Amino acid sequence: MADCIFCSIASGEVETTLVGESETAVAFRDQSPAAPVHVLVVPREHHESVAQMAVVDGQGVADLFALVGEVADGEGIAGTGYRVLTNTGADAGQEVAHVHLHVVGGQPLGALLSGSRG
């Protein structure tokens, strides 16, 4: 999509420092980090949600998660633990309508939601 910031980043049109990449995805630091490590993993092709992407490109979804593992290793959080989040739709807080996985860690993260026990 012409006006999608993540498409522009994934294509190299908008420069950013990549912390990882594969043939099908790129990983870069979140501009408003919620933890010491906060990296976004984004497919190079435009898809609006992981569920929609899974229907048309299941291998692409698997590739995203493979890059998540590489990012966690590279950022030194694979052994201590990390969280992988994706938001779908306005009620979930999705701000960019392009699949992106948040890889968050580097500190104890606590409960995901208030009252949650993990």
Residue of 47, 98, 100, 102 marked catalytic: 100
Instruction: Read off the tokens for 49.
Output: 């949600």
Element (H or E) spanning 19, and its range? Answer: strand 18-21
State yes or no: is 100 an active-site residue.
Answer: yes
pLDDT the model gives residue 112: 74
Contacts of 75 (CB under 8 A, 6+ apart): 19, 37, 39, 103, 105, 106
What structural domains does the chain harbor?
A: 5-105 (3.30.428.10)
User: Band of the pLDDT at 110, cuts 50, 70, 90?
Assistant: confident
Distance of CA 94 to the CA centre of its chain: 12
**Residue-wise pLDDT tens digits, 33-88:** 999 999 999 999 999 999 999 999 999 999 999 999 999 999 999 999 999 999 99
